[in-house]
Amino acid sequence: MREACRDLDRRVERLVVHRDGRAHWVEVEALRDAISTARDLGLVAGVPFYALLEVRKRVVPRILKALGSKWVNPDKGVYVQLDPYTMLLATTGFPERRLITSTGLVRPVAVSLVDTSDWEALLLDLARDVYWLSQLHWGSAFVTPRLPVTTLYSHKISRLLSLGVHPPEEYRDKLWFL
């Protein structure tokens, strides 16, 4: 990382970590320690902005859209702020998945701000990044996944590795898991 910062000729000023599922306080402390160590090594700016977000995929609430007398899936990007640090975000929906199918409504993701260096930061801006990272997907040109690539790809990699699927050495720096 030190070489990457030197090649860019600048220091990291902003770091946002997406945690798949619930974050534990041990992870919060580890992130704070990593930021402190990076500051000591000169890899980050004096007091960088950092945030730890939970991106939970298994949540009970759903978001609906009323269309006349029918209920349909919500528009992509619709959100409901539950409290100052938590919101539901529809990363899929209309126009890709307009009608409610036999599997039901599209499920939103819950985005929660767990820890940050600036509690005045807007959750909406951080959730917007989660939304756009869910649209950045190389597996399909027609349907986007629900999860951002930051959690989706790491989940796919860990799942394949747990099944004993290991890529050959020449594919380790490529998107072998897609």
Domains, in order of start, for the chain: 18-25+53-171 (3.30.420.10)
Other Cβ atoms closer than 10 A to 110: 20
Reported as a single tens digit per residue, the pLDDT across 116-172 is: 988 888 899 999 999 998 888 766 666 777 878 788 777 787 888 888 888 888 877
Reported as a single tens digit per residue, the pLDDT across 5-55 is: 555 556 788 889 999 989 999 999 999 999 989 888 888 877 889 999 999
| Gap between the Cα atoms of 165 and 101, Å rounded | 33
What phi and psi values does residue 162 have, to the nearest 5 degrees?
-70, -25
pTM for this model (two decimals): 0.79
